Amino acid sequence: MDEFNSRKTMNLRKRSIYLLPNLFTTGALFSGFYAIVQAMNGKFEFAAIAIFIAMVLDALDGRVARLTHTESEFGAQYDSLSDMVSFGVAPSLVVYEWALKGMGKWGWFAAFIYCAATALRLARFNTNIEVVDKRYFQGLPSPAAAALIAGFVWVMHDYEITGEDVRWYAGGLTIFAGLSMVSNLPFYSFKDFNMRKSVPFIVIFLIALFFILISSYPPGVLFALFMCYAVSGPVMWVWRRKSKSPPIA
């Protein structure tokens, strides 16, 4: 009887561990849904913050799955669907409600370009996962694109600038983020960064400085960070083209 109870407890524990990464995915999905609801209620700061929370939870679910050895095809598909809501539908609706609604058909056209680009980006990632160089993403990752939109909305809201005042900038940024996702531009993935290896003291100092900067002014620092990351793709592409071109005689 004791052996049966022990085996039952182990099975329940194993099942709980298996559910753990999917709970993080569900949390990310809820954050994306919450962002949509807050945007519909005109609370755009809360909507932007919710998208960033979804990013954190999305980053954790895969790591938790690998640490607990609970990766599964179900988890991968569920994560992709969650990403579509949190980083595709939510940012496009947030920026549409905030700034693009007054632009008429051009507004929803820009929002749809972003939403469709996210779907294409996720589909390409799922089909090319074993093909591409893991050191680089092919196109801007959807969480980074969502952070670009959410960060812009958050910064403008913090400075009390309405979406109506910057609607054309918002539309341009939305289209830029969407096209960057479906491009072939290389973006560094940071997947070859091993946390278990020893690093110089300066790296620890820079990480601490990074968190201090974020805590000093979260919307501005986060937006600047992801804007730099979005620009890094075109810069790296140009640098590669120049390095491959033959020298002029």
Reference 24, options 83, 112, 111; nearest CA is 83
Backbone angles phi, psi at 170, to 5 degrees: -65, -40
Instruction: Compute the Cα dihedral for 203, 134, 222, 65 and give only its sign.
Output: negative
**What is the model's pLDDT at position 197?**
66
What domains, with CATH codes, occur in the chain? 2-244 (1.20.120.1760)
**What is the model's pLDDT at position 131?**
64
Q: Output the tens digit of pLDDT for each of the chain's 249 residues.
A: 555 455 554 454 444 446 888 999 999 999 999 999 999 999 999 999 999 999 999 999 988 888 888 888 888 899 999 999 999 999 999 999 999 999 999 999 999 999 999 999 999 998 887 666 778 899 999 999 999 999 999 999 999 999 999 999 999 999 999 999 999 999 998 876 665 666 677 777 878 888 898 889 999 999 999 999 999 999 999 998 888 765 554
Entry pTM? 0.87
**What is the model's pLDDT at position 116?**
98
Element (H, E) at 138: strand 136-138
Total count of residues recorded for the chain: 249
What are the distances in angstroms from CA 120 to CA 35, 53, 173, 183?
Answer: 22, 23, 18, 10
Residue 136 CA to residue 192 CA, distance in Å, equals 10
**What is the model's pLDDT at position 210?**
83
Residue 13 CA to residue 17 CA, distance in Å, equals 6
Backbone angles phi, psi at 128, to 5 degrees: -105, 10
Tokens of 32: 């994306």
Tokens of 63: 């790591």
Name residue, tokens 């400085």. Answer: 209
Residue 171 CA to residue 169 CA, distance in Å, equals 5
